[in-house]
């Protein structure tokens, strides 16, 4: 008898366990909401610092009063968890955090690929349900990907010939492109394909793209040439635009370049949209508007165009392949955030926000049209400065003070006064001005400040809580 009951209990045990396992995956899929937050922006726009500080401030929420669920005391816990996608690199939160807040704080290295992190909350629902339900789990999957990859969407609709022509004519006058253009003109597209020639052309083209990006041009596609990751050296990245006059014949350089361009589209661009982009619910687009303003009118105009192109991905109606892929699913909210606002005294923040709004207006109008809610704000993910007023020639200048990145010295800095009306910047930019009239906009690179964080506090920021409220607040 005893033996029997033992058998029964262990059977029951395994039954229970079986049910639990099923229960887990069922509740995971059906009852625990998942928010997929995409974080993107052009190179150096502040993606890595944003995610690191966002996660740190969601784990320790002392500085997140603008997040309503936090204000109302409904978040019981937040913790990092293994992410659901086994083949995507994990966002290296811990090392970025120790870069930023360690004993010798420094900015993290550039990142070159898509990465992901899952943060889970135990939160009590708001309103009427609060009394009836206990805390529930909400997962936040944060996906970091380069904005340049969105620009590649435009390639899907272009043949190799069209793309070659367009690219060559656009870069014709750029000094950064001189060397590549000389090589491309000297190449004979109709000659028999040989690998060293193809490689030399591709290398010259990617050198051009890197120089162009350094110089502040934003139209640097194909995006993976700048961020090759583990595709470096593979045939999908060994092509370049060529001056084409005749239709391609078999086994020619032109035919092989064309084939690789098509492979880039089908094996690199499409999988990114299919596996990552199509699953995003909420999106933040980070913009280094101050950096562009400092570089001058051309950089601002270039950035405006790149933003419009980037955002056309969020208006899928324009691209037949993408609309098919998404089948009506769309990003619900898009936030346009001007980063690094700690370079400006807060008196100037409304002006930066106004510039941000104007810079993305066209694109935002279209996105709203597609049903997404949009907002613009200026913020700093990690505040590296303090504010002070300094008198100068009888007037008081609103300055910021911080540690200069190159010298390590403390300095107060006045960046210049942004115009009240964003058109004063955007109109000359659109009209092809070479320099700003009147005002110069300085830009200082500050090092992250030494921090001593109180328990319960994340790193200091500006409006990161407001950004979080817009992006995920309604789901907590």
Ligand X SMILES: Nc1nc2c(ncn2[C@@H]2O[C@H](COP(=O)(O)OP(=O)(O)OP(=O)(O)O)[C@@H](O)[C@H]2O)c(=O)[nH]1
Among Mg ion, ligand X, none, what does residue 441 contact (CB within 5–8 Å per kind)?
none
Among 70, 101, 111, 254, indicate the residue that binds ligand X (CB under 6 A). Answer: 111
Phi-psi region of 367 (alpha: psi -120 to 50; beta: other; left: phi over 0): alpha
In this structure, the number of other CB atoms found within 10 A of the CB of residue 244 comes to 18
Q: Examine residue 111 and tell whether it contacts Mg ion (CB under 5 A).
A: yes
Q: Which of residues 332-371 bind ligand X (CB under 6 A)?
A: 339-340, 342-343
The stretches of 399-463 forming alpha helices (DSSP H) are: 423-430
Contacts of 23 (CB under 8 A, 6+ apart): none
Q: Is residue 289 near ligand X by the rule CB under 6 A?
A: no
Take residue 442 and report the two structure tokens written for it: 């300085």
Q: How far is the CB of 466 from Mg ion (least distance, A)?
A: 22
Q: Does 468 bind ligand X (CB under 6 A)?
A: no
Number of H helices, E strands in the chain: 19, 10
Among 35, 37, 49, 240, binds ligand X (CB under 6 A): 49
Residue 381 in the binding site for Mg ion (CB under 5 A): no
* Gap between the Cα atoms of 345 and 222, Å rounded: 37
53 near Mg ion (CB under 5 A): no
* Residue 46 in the binding site for ligand X (CB under 6 A): yes
Give the chain's end-to-end CA distance (angstroms, integer).
52
Identify residues 132-151 at the interface with ligand X (CB under 6 A): 146
Virtual CA dihedral for 74, 79, 84, 85, nearest 10 degrees?
Answer: 130
Contact call for residue 458 and ligand X (CB under 6 A): no
Check residue 48 for interaction with Mg ion (CB under 5 A): yes
Largest CA distance in the chain: 99
Residue selected from 35, 37, 38, 47 as contacting ligand X according to rule CB under 6 A = 47
Separation between Cα atoms, residue 111 and residue 363, nearest integer Å: 26
Separation between Cα atoms, residue 285 and residue 47, nearest integer Å = 9
Between CA 65 and CA 71 the distance in angstroms is: 5
* CB of 336 closer than 8 Å to CB of 376: yes
Site string for ligand X, 238-257 (x = CB under 6 A): --------------------
User: What string marks each residue from 384 to 403 as x (binds ligand X by CB under 6 A) or -?
Assistant: x-------------------
From the CB of 429, what's the least distance to ligand X, in Å? 22
Q: How far is the CB of 277 from ligand X (least distance, A)?
A: 17
State which of residues 35, 36, 38, 43 lies at the interface with ligand X (CB under 6 A).
43
342 binds, among Mg ion, ligand X, none (CB under 5 to 8 A by kind): ligand X
What is the spatial distance between Cα 235 and Cα 368, in angstroms, rounded to a whole number?
A: 39
Q: Is 401 helix (H, G, I), strand (E, B) or coil?
A: strand
Query: Does the protein bind Mg ion through residue 167 (CB under 5 A)?
Result: no
Residues in contact with Mg ion by the rule CB under 5 A = 47-48, 111
Residues in contact with ligand X by the rule CB under 6 A = 41, 43-49, 107-108, 110-111, 146, 339-340, 342-343, 380-382, 384, 445-446
């Amino acid at each position: 008898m005893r033996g029997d009951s033992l058998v029964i209990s262990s059977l029951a045990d395994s039954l229970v366990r079986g049910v639990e396992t099923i229960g887990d995956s069922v509740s995971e899929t059906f009852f625990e909401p998942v928010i997929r937050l995409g974080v993107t922006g052009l190179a150096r726009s502040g993606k890595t610092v944003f995610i690191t500080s966002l996660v740190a401030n969601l784990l320790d929420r002392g500085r997140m009063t603008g997040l309503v669920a936090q204000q109302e005391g409904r978040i019981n816990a937040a913790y990092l968890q293994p992410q659901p996608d086994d083949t995507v690199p994990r966002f290296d939160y811990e090392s970025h955090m120790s870069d930023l807040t360690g004993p010798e704080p420094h900015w993290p290295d550039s990142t070159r690929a898509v990465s992901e992190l899952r943060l889970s909350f135990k939160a009590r629902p708001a309103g009427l349900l609060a009394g009836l339900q206990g805390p529930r789990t909400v997962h936040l999957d944060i996906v970091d990907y380069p904005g340049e990859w969105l620009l590649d969407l435009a390639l899907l609709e272009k043949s190799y010939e069209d793309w070659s022509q367009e690219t060559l004519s656009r870069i014709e006058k750029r000094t950064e492109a001189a060397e590549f253009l000389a090589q491309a003109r000297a190449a004979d597209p109709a000659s028999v394909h040989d690998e060293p020639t193809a490689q030399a052309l591709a290398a010259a083209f990617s050198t051009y793209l890197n120089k162009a990006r350094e110089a502040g041009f934003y139209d640097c596609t194909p995006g993976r040439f700048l961020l090759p990751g583990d595709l470096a050296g593979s045939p999908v990245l060994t092509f370049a635009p060529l001056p084409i006059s005749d239709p391609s014949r078999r086994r020619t350089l032109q035919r092989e370049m064309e084939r690789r361009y098509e492979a880039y589209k089908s094996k690199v661009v499409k999988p990114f949209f299919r596996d990552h982009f199509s699953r995003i619910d909420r999106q933040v687009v980070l913009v280094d508007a101050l950096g562009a303003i400092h570089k001058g009118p051309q950089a601002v105009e270039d950035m405006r165009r790149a933003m419009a192109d980037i955002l056309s991905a969020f208006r899928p109606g324009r691209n037949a392949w993408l609309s098919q892929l998404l089948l009506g699913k769309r990003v619900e909210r898009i936030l346009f955030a001007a980063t690094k606002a700690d370079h400006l005294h807060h008196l100037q923040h409304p002006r930066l926000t106004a510039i941000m709004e104007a810079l993305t207006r066209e694109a935002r109008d279209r996105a709203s049209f597609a049903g997404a809610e949009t907002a613009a704000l200026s913020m700093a993910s990690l505040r590296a400065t303090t504010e002070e007023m300094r008198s100068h020639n009888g007037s008081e200048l609103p300055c910021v003070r911080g540690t200069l990145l190159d010298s390590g010295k403390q300095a107060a800095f006045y960046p210049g006064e942004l115009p009240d009306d964003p058109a004063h910047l955007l109109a000359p930019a659109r009209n092809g001005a070479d320099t700003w009239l009147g005002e110069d906009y300085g830009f200082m690179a500050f090092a992250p400040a030494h921090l001593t964080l109180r328990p319960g506090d994340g790193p200091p920021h500006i409006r990161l809580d407001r950004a979080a409220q817009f992006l995920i607040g309604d789901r907590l």
